[in-house]
Structure 1
């Protein structure tokens, strides 16, 4: 018996050292002497599997199972042999038999997990890998497999600690780095860690266009656009027909307001996608254009091309681009909404509102409530909950519809941004105004605020234009009348910038220095309505701007501002909440309108606005040309003052 043990050890040493032929001969010699030598059976089976002779292994191991039906290592090796010939069902059978003998058999747990992954049963693999790691926390392959399986099942947050554990031991573990990097690409709030990780991946994989594209993506997500652009161009130098990189580059160019260049890049994206069957055989696997990729990114390219062309004033071409997107992916929500915006900005409200409702299927959808949604019919005393969505300006513009709902017999509760509660509480058509997050009263029906135009079937001719529909505090109005009395002359309130996080805010905001031409008109006094963002520009002007500290700090959002506006002769502002507030108060407002204005300001050069009868719009003749806008405003102001 001792001689057999010695021979087994000698054969195992040969086996481990790669002398497979000698090891096999010795295993067979042992079995010739002792056919029931269990170690020789399972080790010879393992050797045959490793030598890609799975069928021979199966014969040996099946014989062993007959002799030792409860020997877990033999069962595991037999499962592995079946796996090598792609008989996943038989492999699973023997792995499970092994675990029925020994529930803590590490190899059986790990291999069964791999078997489940190959069968697409990812959720089944997770507890097996977790148990394997409990048995051996240092098992790199099991931890890596668990991390990637968590990633594939969408559990990125759960995968991250496992990738970090692997990287703590080996900071340049390539698979772990890539897996970790893929998780960081999914971050809701992009981090600098993602940039650091992908930069290292690129360093470890020089000349890899796919890695460069992912690096460009994390740079884009952290708004480091020049660096992101450079990474894209480096990738395209390596692989000029890389569809995903062209799409990424186009988005990066658009984010820098380089719309002409972005249009070219989006066009190239769509061209490559249309040639995918021709190009795919010539591309490396990571760059091929699958039908799924084409539907997703082709639709993005078409939709974003429509947006860029619209920014440039090419509305017909924008419509063509969005139709291209919808041919690629007929149910793409962003493309359907873009088509809706193009209708709305042209006054085709009947076609636009139904498409705008598609936002309810988007990731930025309005919240839902358990009661039915109102369809615009007579309310006859029923209680309607209207709930806010999107920005403050949207609430100020569309709260007018609550008046119509009230006229239809509704008892209206408005679920409001908390900061707007004091201002909106003065509206006589609102029975209650509740701050978002506070307990709700009983209600019968609900509707998102921005769905009211659709529910009430608003057309160009039926836009509710009656103003005012917001009301300043009488006491505050009197207080500000007294405070403003020393500032005689034609008083103009000004704002120049809205929320900097708003998409394309750079396109709509006005440099404060542009108001110099207005300030230079004799008899004009400028009153500052701007708060927070943009105040750093005050040091760049050399004209008088009357400011009041702590505006709205005590009374509530827009309360002081509304009272001041009530005591002004005119307000001038670009697209911010201020034009909505001023228009809703029924006071004169001049809108400094970007060439690429939002849909609500319309897409042409008209001066009147369908939503605010007291508004006059001054549109740029081309992007960035605020000089022309303020020159026209100055001339109009001079004429106005001369006529008085």
Structure 2
């Protein structure tokens, strides 16, 4: 009766019934376990731990108590204790697939990669068809640096579940790390065909395309950065520049990430200026002394200060897309930045 109430979500009634049973049978195995399960489902990990510990104390040779206790200990950050109880569950039941798998997860989270691999391999030997075990084994192999084995593992998963966008994405990441960029892009393409609006798929596809030198497609895909949690577009009412001749209009070019990105992409400013407009460049305060010498900039303003009027705008890192950059047309007039020497002569020396 208590089990049925628990399954129906009537936890309060189930607890009442369980306590009535324990009053008559203080060592009732199923009731102790059910009380722990109810506490865990209600998010009361400490309560679950207390019930499972009581169960382990009374019934030390029941593997489920050790396994359930380990799960709750893990959620409370008590990793060493959780490991000990997973291991005890396995000792009592050598074919306990879930215990091997969860122990592997715990080792992986703790950075013990080889230990995680060993546990996943044990779990997979017991259940060769489990896709999640196969996937996590692939994750651990990738973390260990064995990219060839990771790719092989992910391929098996994709072959068995070709409609999973996540699995194709995982394979793409491993292929990217292994340097097979073309096949990585193909995997991201398959993932995107299944889930067209998943940002991380497009983001990684952009990185693989750009690293491979496919700038036309890569910079188009790189616009998905605005859909990530870390970057948001500036809410200007003026439109983003489309690359057409400026013919007297004023354009605001603004930084979006760090110093390095700004210093790399300001090389495009002379190309923008050549299209007949007036260029405002917004920059970080620390870069102001350096960038005030930049060719093609009409007005240089510090980030977060009031902006002059402008007609269109563009983030600096969108300029390669807007201007249709290819590997062959990267602006390469170097140096495009120069530091003027100090006005004083021979610092530290006095004239005779």
TM superposition score normalised by structure 1? 0.39
Aligned to 2:146: 258
5+ residue gaps in structure 1? Answer: 1-48, 53-79, 92-105, 112-138, 148-161, 185-192, 275-290, 483-644
Secondary structure of 1:399's partner? helix
Count of residue correspondences: 306
Aligned to 1:468: 335
| Aligned-pair CA distance for 1:315 | 4.8
178, 183, 190: which one aligns with 2:71: 178
Secondary structure of 1:414's partner? strand
| Aligned-pair CA distance for 1:342 | 4.3
Q: How does 1:574-613 map to 2 (within 5 A)?
A: none
166, 175, 180: which one aligns with 2:47: 166
Aligned to 2:220: 354
Cα-to-partner distance string for 1:585-644 (whole Å, 9 max, x where unaligned) = xxxxxxxxxxxxxxxxxxxxxxxxxxxxxxxxxxxxxxxxxxxxxxxxxxxxxxxxxxxx
Provide the C-alpha distance between the structure 1 equivalents of 2:3 and 2:242, rounded to a whole number of angstroms.
74
| Aligned-pair CA distance for 1:410 | 4.1
Provide the C-alpha distance between the structure 1 equivalents of 2:161 and 2:345, rounded to a whole number of angstroms.
64
Aligned to 1:202: 86
Could you tell me whether the CA contact under 8 Å between 1:343 and 1:351 is conserved in 2? Answer: yes
| Aligned-pair CA distance for 1:218 | 4.8
Q: Is the aligned partner of 1:239 residue 2:120?
A: no
Residues 178 and 414 of structure 1, relative CA distance in 2, 3 Å threshold: farther
Residues 260 and 371 of structure 1, relative CA distance in 2, 3 Å threshold: same
Residues 249 and 446 of structure 1, relative CA distance in 2, 3 Å threshold: farther
| Aligned-pair CA distance for 1:140 | 7.9
Q: How does 1:206-605 map to 2 (within 5 A)?
A: 206=90, 207-274=95-162, 294-296=164-166, 298-309=167-178, 311=179, 314-364=180-230, 366-372=231-237, 374-377=240-243, 378=245, 380-382=248-250, 384-389=252-257, 392-408=259-275, 409-416=277-284, 420=287, 423-424=290-291, 426-429=293-296, 431-432=299-300, 434=302, 439-442=304-307, 446-475=313-342
Could you tell me whether the CA contact under 8 Å between 1:386 and 1:447 is conserved in 2? Answer: yes
Provide the C-alpha distance between the structure 2 equivalents of 1:441 and 1:242, rounded to a whole number of angstroms.
58
Provide the C-alpha distance between the structure 1 equivalents of 2:97 and 2:345, rounded to a whole number of angstroms.
66
| Aligned-pair CA distance for 1:455 | 2.3
Provide the C-alpha distance between the structure 1 equivalents of 2:110 and 2:343, rounded to a whole number of angstroms.
43
Provide the C-alpha distance between the structure 2 equivalents of 1:325 and 1:351, rounded to a whole number of angstroms.
17
5+ residue gaps in structure 2? Answer: 17-34, 54-64
Could you tell me whether the CA contact under 8 Å between 1:412 and 1:429 is conserved in 2? Answer: no
| Aligned-pair CA distance for 1:468 | 1.8
Secondary structure of 1:412's partner? strand
Provide the C-alpha distance between the structure 2 equivalents of 1:245 and 1:362, rounded to a whole number of angstroms.
29
Provide the C-alpha distance between the structure 2 equivalents of 1:213 and 1:477, rounded to a whole number of angstroms.
69
| Aligned-pair CA distance for 1:319 | 4.5
Secondary structure of 2:152's partner? helix
Residues 202 and 175 of structure 1, relative CA distance in 2, 3 Å threshold: closer
Residues 477 and 262 of structure 1, relative CA distance in 2, 3 Å threshold: farther
In our comparison, the structure showing a higher alpha carbon Rg is 1
How large is the RMSD of aligned CA atoms in angstroms? 4.4
Residues 181 and 375 of structure 1, relative CA distance in 2, 3 Å threshold: farther
Aligned to 1:68: none
| Aligned-pair CA distance for 1:477 | 12
Cα-to-partner distance string for 1:144-165 (whole Å, 9 max, x where unaligned) = 4442xxxxxxxxxxxxxx53x4
Provide the C-alpha distance between the structure 1 equivalents of 2:197 and 2:315, rounded to a whole number of angstroms.
22
Provide the C-alpha distance between the structure 2 equivalents of 1:333 and 1:308, rounded to a whole number of angstroms.
19
Could you tell me whether the CA contact under 8 Å between 2:215 and 2:327 is conserved in 1? Answer: yes
Could you tell me whether the CA contact under 8 Å between 2:83 and 2:103 is conserved in 1? Answer: yes
Provide the C-alpha distance between the structure 2 equivalents of 1:220 and 1:329, rounded to a whole number of angstroms.
28
Residues 197 and 245 of structure 1, relative CA distance in 2, 3 Å threshold: farther
Cα-to-partner distance string for 1:97-125 (whole Å, 9 max, x where unaligned) = xxxxxxxxx959x99xxxxxxxxxxxxxx
